[in-house]
Amino acid sequence: MAVLTGRVSGADEAYFGYLLRQAREHNWRRKRKLRSFSSAQDWQAHTQAVRENFRLALGQFPERTPLNPQLVGILERDGYVVEKLLIESQPGFPVTVNLYRPPEITEPLPAVLNPLGHWADGKGEVVVQARGIGLARHGYVALVYDPIGQGERSQHWDRATNSNPMTSSTEQHAGACLPCWLVGQTVINHMVWDGVRMLDYLEMRTDVDSSRIGCTGASGGGTFTMFLTAFDDRIKAAVPVCSTATYERMHSKGQIGDPCQDPVGSYPNDMDMADLLMSRAPLPMQIMSTTYDFFPLIGARDVYADVLDCYTALGVPERANMVEPPAHHDYNQPMRESMYAWFNRWLKDEPEPVTEAPFSPETPETLWCTASGQAILSDRNETVVSLNERRAAELAPAIPEMAKRKAADSHRQDTREAARAVLAYDEVPAAGAMQTLGTQTIGGLQVEEVYFESEVDLPVPGLVFHPPSDGPHPAVVYVHELGKDAEAHENGIPAALARAGSKVFAMDLRGWGETRWNAQVVYRPDDAALLGTDSRLAYFGYFLGEWPLTQRVTDTIRCVDQIAEREDVETDRIAVLGQCGGGLVALHAAALDERIRAVAMLETLASYRHITRAGEYTVPASSFLPGVLLHYDLPSLVGALAPRTTEILNPVDAVCEPITEEEAEEVFSPSALMFKRLEAKKGLRVRARASRTEALAALVAWSQRG
């Protein structure tokens, strides 16, 4: 039911445009800041602040534990040797490693750490083998390792089909990252820590000169070259390849990658790529960006210009370099030869050009460090899933006993305050008042076509279903992650509630329904998929330090503001009903706004702990909140709504399958206890696996109770 078509242009780009405007404002402020620097001290203060902000953005790191390196095989080849190793970056969390070295070593050699890009075979890819072999033949110890979700380190595995259920490494990274958010962690943290522990291992080796360690990688490996170099002082020279461009240049093209490359708060905390690269100045840094890469070359040149300004101010412009090979997204032989020459210059004091000799690559299976080719199939192997669940179990706050009303009331208040803090909600009025654009009839009901601007140029369209009778009526705000059209028909939920006497505002919150983003770059057709359009806007929000759930809660509360001004609404009887992801919006909006006197959640996630415990989930990225489980879970927030009328219908698990009555009773037992202690036992109703007819009847009854 299009409300905006032909009336308000650009609705499908509005949410993306809103985020992009913010990104550009941050970028402009950052540019002005850099241009104001007048001394080396200014640059040094900036780079130190960048490193501190970067560490904070990554979250708390685990303790250093024994690496327990195991040499599981050796390949002796022409001019080099490959050691196959298993190294535990965390207890029971093995990293699969191929270490390339010369056959004979008479003195400690410089070493190069090689984080990898998004190649499915990880260290077994030919282009990856090539630089390991080339570095070893040129007198280096080269450590190449599989990142999380690649090669032998899949984090999800279907034992029935003996295959990976996630088809790409980017999906593996996104799938591992989102549950990390719930426990105040990031997948970048785990991946950076893998690299740090690989540096620890190199330091242990007697054949490595730990004062001469370089780092290089392409694509995602180039990103982690940047991350590791910014994080760890032991890296003394770096060559990031096919990975560098300003965030704003990439985001302007709709290039929003998976969250293993998205440090939270990058824009407001001045952590653009140039800032991270220059954070280790005057470390020798060569940026390699190809002329035909999908990363915008102009963005790489922007980065290099900033880095060169910094190095020039420090008096060492020769330590910053950029090369632009005529290639696509690659790390080909001429590019590798440029890398060898850079490391030779700064780690070996050998400035002469070098060439790469021909080599014979191995099959990926020959380079395996595990018998099956997957560490996850071994007897003792942690995954990011198991690490997240352990962290949740250790750090999640315990539910207090609440033996008396006073304790329950205190817990209710604490939980609501925690929700406000986790959401980082800021109460700001809508940019524009609700307008009526037209009317239509659905199932014999008058339906008003409305919209308001939640932000400037960010419309929130809706359909207002009017009851058959005149006079003020109770109001229900209805939000669904598929938009208002999901139920905008004569047998839909809004129509049923309107016939029962409620004025129903079925709204498309930002990015849903008519305002769904028409992405320039489509990775997956399913919006809610790990790399779908809705998810990628969520990742864009991480760069800005903002969460889509908070923004949609904001839209909902602004809608309540608009409704409270209408004469045809009983303003003391405003309710919110959310379906699927909309249920999380409704729950959080009610926790923040006392004007919402009743709440219903239909087919909504029952508990965030379902996700940390599951190997798979289909809950969209926009439903996640960073660190939420360190403060509360959804059942506690439901309890904090007491004594308001609250309906939980057909709650679902991590893969959006309905849970049983027994499971629902157990999950929502803290909610029931809260309502009981606050003398509102009848205010909460939980029902699992109701039929469509039963669910509609329950929602009608809820609307009349509220």
Reported as type and span, the H/E element at residue 47 is helix 40-58
Nearest by Cα to 311 from 303, 320, 301: 320
Helices (H), 59-168: 126-137
What mean pLDDT comes out for the span 214-221? 97
Q: How far is CA 58 from the centre of its chain?
A: 12
Name the percent of the chain in helix, strand, coil, to the closest 5: 40, 20, 40
Confidence of residue 370 (pLDDT cuts 50, 70, 90): very high
On the 0-12 / 13-18 / 19+ scale of CB atoms within 10 A, 13 is middle
Confidence of residue 641 (pLDDT cuts 50, 70, 90): very high
Report pLDDT for 244: 95
d(CA 169, CA 484): 34
Reported as type and span, the H/E element at residue 175 is helix 169-182
- For 353-368, write each residue's pLDDT tens digit: 899 999 999 999 999 9
Q: Is the pLDDT of residue 215 over 90?
A: yes
- Give the Å distances, CA to CA, from 226 to 247, 285, 346: 14, 10, 17
- For 425-457, write each residue's pLDDT tens digit: 999 999 999 999 999 999 999 999 999 999 999
Cross-strand bridge partners of residue 475: 503, 574
Confidence of residue 351 (pLDDT cuts 50, 70, 90): confident
Report pLDDT for 558: 98
Q: Which two tokens stand for residue 103?
A: 């056959």
- The three-state secondary structure class of 292 is coil
Q: How many residues are present in the chain? A: 706
Dihedral sign computed on CA atoms, order 332, 335, 336, 337: positive
Nearest by Cα to 701 from 693, 190, 637: 693
Q: Which two tokens stand for residue 535?
A: 């998810």
Report pLDDT for 687: 97
Report pLDDT for 259: 86
| Residue environment code for 568-601, b if the CB has 16+ CB neighbours within 10 A, otherwise e | ebebebbbbbbbbbbbbbbbbbbbbbebbbbbbb
**Cα torsion at 506, 509, 512, 515 (round to 10°)?**
100
**Radius of gyration, alpha carbons of the chain:** 28
What mean pLDDT comes out for the span 223-246? 97
Confidence of residue 399 (pLDDT cuts 50, 70, 90): confident
On the 0-12 / 13-18 / 19+ scale of CB atoms within 10 A, 275 is buried
Q: Is the pLDDT of residue 172 over 90?
A: no
What mean pLDDT comes out for the span 41-58? 96
Q: Is the pLDDT of residue 706 over 90?
A: no
What mean pLDDT comes out for the span 329-341? 97
What mean pLDDT comes out for the span 371-385? 88
Asked whether 200 and 207 are in contact (CB, 8 A), the reply is: no
Report pLDDT for 525: 61
Q: For 100, phi and psi rounded to 5 degrees?
A: -100, 135
d(CA 183, CA 389): 9
Asked whether 262 and 536 are in contact (CB, 8 A), the reply is: no
CA contacts within 13 A on the Cβ side of 419: 27
d(CA 2, CA 549): 24
On the 0-12 / 13-18 / 19+ scale of CB atoms within 10 A, 540 is buried
d(CA 243, CA 226): 9
Confidence of residue 519 (pLDDT cuts 50, 70, 90): confident
In the chain, what are the domains? 57-391 (3.40.50.1820), 405-705 (3.40.50.1820)
- Lowest-pLDDT range of 326-340, 396-410, 626-640: 396-410
Report pLDDT for 368: 98
Report pLDDT for 164: 79
Reported as type and span, the H/E element at residue 420 is helix 405-423
Residue 312: CB atoms within 10 A of its CB come to 14
Helices (H), 446-515: 493-499
Nearest by Cα to 138 from 321, 278, 347: 347
Q: Which two tokens stand for residue 648?
A: 């939980």
Report pLDDT for 349: 95
d(CA 706, CA 703): 5
Report pLDDT for 647: 98
- For 544-570, write each residue's pLDDT tens digit: 999 999 999 999 999 999 999 999 999
Asked whether 520 and 526 are in contact (CB, 8 A), the reply is: no
Q: Which two tokens stand for residue 560?
A: 């309540």
The counts of H helices and E strands in the chain are 21, 18
Q: Is the pLDDT of residue 527 over 70?
A: no
Report pLDDT for 614: 85
- Give the Å distances, CA to CA, from 77 to 133, 137, 425: 10, 11, 60
Report pLDDT for 200: 98
What mean pLDDT value characterizes the chain? 94
Reported as type and span, the H/E element at residue 75 is strand 70-77
Q: How far is CA 461 from the centre of its chain?
A: 27
Report pLDDT for 210: 97
Nearest by Cα to 229 from 279, 282, 289, 288: 279
* The pTM of the whole model exceeds 0.85: yes
High-pLDDT (> 70) share of the chain, %: 99
Report pLDDT for 204: 97
High-pLDDT (> 90) share of the chain, %: 84
Confidence of residue 458 (pLDDT cuts 50, 70, 90): very high
Q: Is the pLDDT of residue 292 over 70?
A: yes
What mean pLDDT comes out for the span 212-239? 97
Confidence of residue 128 (pLDDT cuts 50, 70, 90): very high
Peptide bond into 643 cis (omega under 30): yes
Report pLDDT for 165: 78
Confidence of residue 398 (pLDDT cuts 50, 70, 90): confident
Hey, what amino acid is at 188? I
- Give the Å distances, CA to CA, from 522 to 254, 496, 525, 535, 609: 9, 37, 7, 12, 31
Residue 131: CB atoms within 10 A of its CB come to 26
Q: Is the pLDDT of residue 615 over 90?
A: no
Nearest by Cα to 457 from 5, 13, 7, 1: 13
